[in-house]
Amino acid sequence: MDGSLIISNILNPPVLFFFLGMTAVFVKSDLEIPAPVPKLFSLYLLFAIGFKGGVELIKSGITQEVVLTLLAAMLMACFVPIYTFFILKLKLDTYDAAAIAATYGSISAVTFITASAFLGNLGIAFDGYMVAALALMESPAIIVGLILVNIFTVEQGKPRDISWSEVLQEAFLNSSVFLLVGSLVIGVLTGEHGWQVLEPFTQGLFYGVLTFFLLDMGLVAARRIKDLQKTGFFLISFAILIPILNATIGLLIAKFIGMSQGDALLFAVLCASASYIAVPAAMRMTVPEANPSLYVSTALAVTFPFNIIVGIPLYLYGINLLWR
């Protein structure tokens, strides 16, 4: 692998500020971001990427490649939690296995946004419809995870009473999914005119907000590292190897569909990432028996840093080999 890809990724300001946030925790600095600010920046990033995706989607139109990509996205969102559940069941109980499997079946919007910025720095084009794939992949894993819990706890004589209306509302109407899809639709409706109106806000501020948000993510990830002591070697290995496997499957699908290199990288990143916001919130509500320190710390303290530091350039290297 070309080490220059990793170096160029690490030397991006957003990634360096992620390291700065982690360093602040390790050296016991009192650096802290007030709680409402990261939430605001998270909403801004979802709005900006969703709106831009809608504008680009209306430009490209609904083609066969778009339809195939969105179907592949939903397939992966359902397939990943199923096969990872059975891997996790080798060492964990049903509740923890299902919660972690759902976490890895869903996606990290910030990892996707970081990969988009990485492509922008390299001058590699990608299509706006990948934002629609992002939106479609966030929720199905929650449903699959709960189905797995129901199946395997009933077999053990422990039937569960789950409020599916609350589950569906949390899965499809949580703030991140709602804002992302809503921004995408508004981008489609307003098109190029809407983009010109909002460009100073959606484009000019984007990298600054992403950089500040990753600074906060560095602080949060470093604080979660101590929870890794509870996960053991098995889960730490899982949190690194499964994203690589998922990304490889994603790249093979992308090659089969005929995606461009930029779209293939974003699809691989979606397949490889893990949710640390939407799914943990849903799992806390619906599967309280699962240990949050397991599914949150593996996704946030291992998989997220791995993907934004090593994973993104690694997956691009795989694309360069396959597309060659």
Question: DSSP for 245-284?
Answer: HHHHHHHHHHHHHT--HHHHHHHHHHHH---SSHHHHHHH
Q: What total number of domains does the chain contain?
A: 1
Contact criterion met (CB below 8 Å) for 230 and 294:
yes
Containing domain of residue 158, as a range?
A: 3-323
Q: Is the pTM of this model over 0.75?
A: yes
Neighbours of 197 (CB within 10 A): 11
Q: Give backbone dihedrals phi and psi of 217, rounded to 5 degrees, phi first.
A: -65, -35
289-316 pLDDT per residue, tens: 888 888 888 998 899 999 999 999 999 9
* Cα–Cα distance, 324 to 320 (Å, whole number): 6
Please determine, for residue 156, whether its predicted confidence score (pLDDT) is greater than 60.
Answer: no
Residues contacting 272, CB < 8 A, separation 6+: 111, 243, 244, 246, 247, 250, 303, 307, 311, 315
220-255 pLDDT per residue, tens: 888 888 777 777 789 999 999 999 999 999 999 999
Region of poorest pLDDT, from 66-75, 93-102, 213-222, 283-292: 283-292
Report the CATH number at residue 199: 1.20.1530.20
4-41 pLDDT per residue, tens: 777 777 778 888 998 999 999 999 999 988 888 888 88
Please determine, for residue 161, whether its predicted confidence score (pLDDT) is greater than 70.
Answer: no
* Mean pLDDT, range 156-185, rounded to an integer: 71
47-57 pLDDT per residue, tens: 888 888 888 77
Please determine, for residue 157, whether its predicted confidence score (pLDDT) is greater than 60.
Answer: no
